[in-house]
Structure 1
Amino acid sequence: MGKKKNKFLSSKDEKKIIEAIQKAEKNTSGEIRIHIEFESSTNHFDKAFEVFEQLEMHKTKDRNGVLFHVSPTDHSFTIIGDEGINNATPDDFWDEIKNDVLKHFKKEHYVKGLCEGIKKTGKALKKYFPHQKDDVNELPDEISYN
């Protein structure tokens, strides 16, 4: 899960996305990560789930990690929420956020889409996992690549 130089996000884009994650995480104890996958895949959900585990996102105290898995090569976007979120939220919890992100992606506004999705995720998670005084940032905010 190293850092790969890519033409998908500039360092300025990365900075904007990381700032959006940090801002969103101020409202919730939930943890948000972005992973950019350049390897093509036939099953994006399985691949995203594999990355979720490789990034050890299932090891948060409240099991409230969220992964935005982006595959520019395959034009795919998957959201994986850990079991703490999935047990506390309705089945269609991610649908609106995913649709909003994809609307921006279709116009090739990737950074705007990700930032908007991150912001909405932070707001949505606040209801179920409000920020606590003793919260610590359990997962890194930087973007991972493969």
Structure 2
Amino acid sequence: MRIFPFKRKEIFSETEKERLVQAIRVAERLTSGEIRLFVESHCSYVNPIDRAKEAFDSLDMGKTKLRNGVLVYVAIKDRQFAILGDQGIHEKVGDDFWVKEADLMISHFQDNRIIDGIEACIEEIGASLRTYFPHEAGNDENQLPDDIVFGR
């Protein structure tokens, strides 16, 4: 697995990209919630949560009907990440959930299992979204793309 490549296009292999996009699709199945993955080599901010907020806004994630979008932000070379949930999901899961998800990613990242960590986090976010924002027949369109967004 290539974890710290030099070119942006090589951050993840095609197989890894497909695996993560599939994880997003499966996680969003049976929920009205939305998950986005934003990946870049370096974080241009001291605190990655500030960059995550900027990405969250630029991707219009705050415009979901139920305010239940979640952004997973990862700066690969800097070994930084942030998980940002919109108001609707945050009110349901609270701070402890995000801390638990961060710990999950850290445990995988420490073992250089970056893809596994992102995938596990996406799966758990999806489970929470299904619990608090279950699929509603006739009212559950995919509001945001399921692709991976690559930053700078």
Q: How far 1:28 moved relative to its partner?
A: 1.6
Output the CA distance in 1 between the equivalents of 2:92 and 2:149: 27
Look up the equivalent residue of 2:103 and give its one-letter code: N
Q: Which residue of 2 aligns with 1:61?
A: 65
Correspondence for 2:150: 145
Which residue of structure 1 aligns with residue 79 of structure 2? 75
Alignment of 1:43-122 (within 5 A): 43-122=47-126
Residues 107 and 6 from structure 1, CA distance in 2 versus in 1: closer, same or farther, beyond 3 angstroms? farther
Where do 5+ consecutive residues of structure 2 fail to align? 1-6
Aligned-pair distance for 1:38?
2.2
Among 14, 17, 31, the residue aligned to 1:14: 17
Number of residue pairs matched by the alignment: 143
Go from structure 1 to structure 2 and tell me whether the alpha carbon gap of 1:37 and 1:94 turns closer, same or farther (over 3 Å shift): same
| CA distance in structure 1 between the partners assigned to 2:31 and 2:133 by the alignment | 6
The 1-side partners of 2:95 and 2:118 are apart by: 22
Structure 1 gap ranges (5+): none
In structure 2, what residue type is equivalent to 1:143? I
SS in 2 for 1:77: strand
Identity rate of aligned residues, in percent?
A: 39
Separation (CA, whole Å) in 1 of partners of 2:41 and 2:76: 7
CA contact (8 A) 1:58 1:82 kept: yes
Within 2, Cα distance between the matches of 1:101 and 1:114?
A: 6
Cα distance, 1:95 vs structure 2: 1.6
**Cα shift at 1:73:** 2.2
Report deviation, 1:16.
Answer: 0.3
Secondary structure of the corresponding residue to residue 90 of structure 1? helix
The 8 Å contact of residues 24 and 123 in structure 1, kept in 2 or not, is answered as yes
CA apart distance, 1:90? 2.3
Pairwise CA RMSD: 1.4
Greater relative contact order (CA < 8 Å, ≥ 6 in sequence): 1
How big is each residue's C-alpha offset from its partner over 1:34-63, in whole Å with a ceiling of 9 and x where there is no partner? 001223321211110000000010010001
Aligned counterpart for 2:32 among listed residues 17, 24, 29: 29
CA contact (8 A) 2:72 2:81 kept: yes
Q: Is the 8 Å Cα contact of residues 93 and 128 (structure 2) preserved in structure 1?
A: no
